[in-house]
Amino acid sequence: MSSIANLSVSEISDLIFKKDLSPVDLFSFYSERINKLDSNINSFIEIFDNWEEKAKICQQEISRGEYKGPLHGIPIAVKDLVDVRSKVTTAGSKILSSNIAKSSAEIVNALELSGAIIIGKTELVEFAFGPHGINSNSKQTKNPWDLKKIPGGSSSGSAAAVSADLVPIAIGSDTGGSIRMPASFCGVTGFKPSYNKLSTKGVFPLSWTLDTVGPLGKNTKDCSIFVEEVCKHQNPNNKEPYGGFTSSMLDNFDSLLPVRLKVGVPNDNYFSEMDDEVKKVFNDSVELMKSNGAEIINVDLSWLSIARPVNVVITLAEAMSVHKDYLISNYEDYTYEVISRLVSAERLSINDYLSSLRVMSYIQSKMNDEFDNFDILACPTTPVLPGLIEEYSKKNLSSSKEVVGGRIPSFTSVFNVTRQPSLSTLAGFSESGMPVGLMFTGRFNKDFGVLQVGNWFEKINHNNRNNKPTIG
C-alpha cells in the first residue's frame, strides 16, 4: 500500500476503474498517512469525519457499474476559503471561527457530482492575503522539503499536503500567485485557469476582479483532469472547457501542434531581481526545451512591470471593500500580517482604483499582441527560493526580509492582471535541495495549450521529478 503515495490521480483512477484499488483502500491509506505525518507540517485545519462513509458509497456505486469518471472515489482537500455545506469556513481567521457554510461552493458541488470525496480543509494565509504562507492564527504550515522553510502562500496547506503525499490533489485560489507560488516552493504542479473558467461562487473573496480557483496536484495531467471534470458539472451547457480537446489527448503533443513549438523567454531586463540559483535552474530548463525541439524566442517584457502595481492597487482596494465591516467590529482579531496590508489600502483613492482598471485593460490587449510572436511564455514561477519561517515572523516582518517577501509574487501576479491561464511545475532544485518552479502562460482561454506544454515539459524533465521530500 505504501506505493499509493507515489501515484497520481490519473494512475489511481485507472486502478479504481479496473477495480484493482477501492475508495475504501484509499481512505485507509491516506487517513493513516495524515494521522502519522501531518503533525509535522500542519497542512490540514480539519479532516471531515464522513470521509470513510463517502468512500464506502463510492465503492458501492463503482461495484454496481455506476462509474462517474476519473475523479470518482478520489480524495480531494479544500483550501479553507471554500465553502463546504455544514462545515466551518474560517478563511484562516479567528474572525470567522463560527462561520458555518449553508451551502457548498459551486466548485465543491461540481467535484462531488464527479464522484470526488472532499476530505477536509487546508491551512492558508489569513484571508488568502500574503505570498509567504505565514499565519500567526494557526499552527504554522511548513514546507515538506525543509520544515524550517516557508511553504509559500496563500494556498500553503493545499500545496504542502500534496507535496507530502497526504492527498493526491487539492483546491487552491490565486489572486496574485497563491496557487503557483506554493506549488513552486513545495515542488508540485499548480494551475491557475483563465479568469472565470471555474466558478468562485462560495469562495471567500480577496479581489473579485483577480480571484481564480484551481488545482494543486502531482502533475499537469491531474490538474487538467480536475478542471475538465469541474467544468462538465458546473455548467451543463459547456462540457468542453478545452474547445474539443480532452485530458486524454495531452500526450499527443507532436500531432496536436501544427508547427514547431515557439517558447517565449523574457530577456534579462525582466529578471533583474532574480536569485542566481533560480536563474540557473530556469536557464537549464530553457536549454532542455531547446534540445527537445522547441524554438526559443527572446522577448522584451520590461513594459510588463506596470502590471505588478496594478495588481497591488486592485487587490488592496477590493480587499478593503470586502473587509470594511470586519475592520470596524473585529480590528483586534486580524493578524499583523494582514492588518498591515489592509491599513495601507487607506492611502488609495477611487481614482487610483479606476486608473488601475484602465491600465489593466491596456495590459491585457498588449499582452495578447505579444503572443503573436510565440505559442507559450516561460519564466520562473518566483524570483527567489523559500526563506526561513523565522525570517517572516511578526517581529521580522518590517525588516529587510519583508522586501524579499514582496518579490515573491513579482512574476505570478502579472498574469492575474492579464487573466491568462498559467501553470507552475517543478523545474529543478537549488544547491540546498529546495524545489524551483517553472511557469508556463498561454493566451486567454487557451488553457489546453498551457496544460499540453506543461505535460510535455514534465516528460522531458523526468529526472528532476523523481526526488521526494523525506518527511515520510
Q: Mapping DSSP to helix (H, G, I), strand (E, B) and coil, where does residue 190 land?
A: strand
181/196 Cα distance (integer angstroms): 20
Q: Is 178 a catalytic residue?
A: yes
For residues 417, 314, 171, 112, the Cα torsion angle rounded to the nearest 10 degrees is -100
Helix (H, G, I), strand (E, B) or coil at 380: strand
* Three state DSSP letters for 198-249: CCCCCECCCCCCCCEEEEEECCHHHHHHHHHHHHHHHCCCCCCCCCCCCHHH
Active site residue 248: no
Order of all β-strands in the sheet with 117-122: 44-47, 117-122, 75-79, 169-174, 212-217, 189-192, 422-429, 435-441, 376-380, 262-266, 295-299
Give the cell for residue 112: 462531488
Upstream peptide bond of 154 is cis (omega within 30 degrees of 0)? yes
79 included as an active-site residue = yes
Whole-angstrom distance between the N-terminal and C-terminal Cα of the chain?
14
Among candidate residues 8, 22, 155, 178, the one labeled active-site is: 178
Could you identify the residue written with the cell 493513516?
32
CA atoms lying within 13 Å on the CB side of residue 310: 26
Out of 79, 87, 142, 192, pick the active-site residue: 79
Out of 22, 93, 154, 156, which one is annotated catalytic? 154
What are residue 158's phi and psi, to 5 degrees? -65, -45
In eight-state DSSP terms, residue 145 is: T
Catalytic residues: 79, 154, 178
